[in-house]
Amino acid sequence: MARILLLNDERDLLDICQIILESVGHSAETQWHPATALAKTKRMHPDLIVLDMVMPQMSGAEVLRQLRLDPETAAIPVLMISALSDGVERARALGADAFLAKPFDAEELITAVENLLRRMQKSTDTSPSM
């Protein structure tokens, strides 16, 4: 299955999301510090990143901006999560590939991750080969 990096400053939520995603066969690694997560992304080459929009050290918007500016990480799909009332609009404007509103349950997380992975797989399957 997929290698997923979870980035959130709420460590309990990180642990719960990791358990949920691993229960359906994904490999999930957690990180609570954004700068460390950016470095880990380069080493790990995850298939997907689940990124919290609001964090105290560095915003999810800044993390996403840095991911998109780096050729090594620019194409990694990002599922942005937030409890902000305008979160979906912000995530779209920032260039996130998908959005999930907090609070969410296990099924919602699994569905959002699976849908994004499927969508990204379809887009690579239809890309012209060289």
CATH code of residue 32: 3.40.50.2300
Considering the domain boundaries, does residue 129 fall inside one?
no
Considering the domain boundaries, does residue 17 fall inside one?
yes
Q: Which residues of the chain have pLDDT under 50?
A: 130
Number of compact structural domains in the chain = 1
| Residues contacting 78, CB < 8 A, separation 6+ | 48, 49, 50, 51, 64, 67, 95, 96, 97, 98
pLDDT the model gives residue 126: 63
Considering the domain boundaries, does residue 9 fall inside one?
yes
CB 115 within 8 A of CB 122: no
Considering the domain boundaries, does residue 38 fall inside one?
yes
**Host domain of residue 39:** 3-124
pLDDT the model gives residue 57: 87
pLDDT in tens, 94-123: 999 999 999 999 999 999 999 999 998 887
Considering the domain boundaries, does residue 76 fall inside one?
yes
pLDDT the model gives residue 130: 46
Considering the domain boundaries, does residue 130 fall inside one?
no
Stated pTM of the model: 0.92
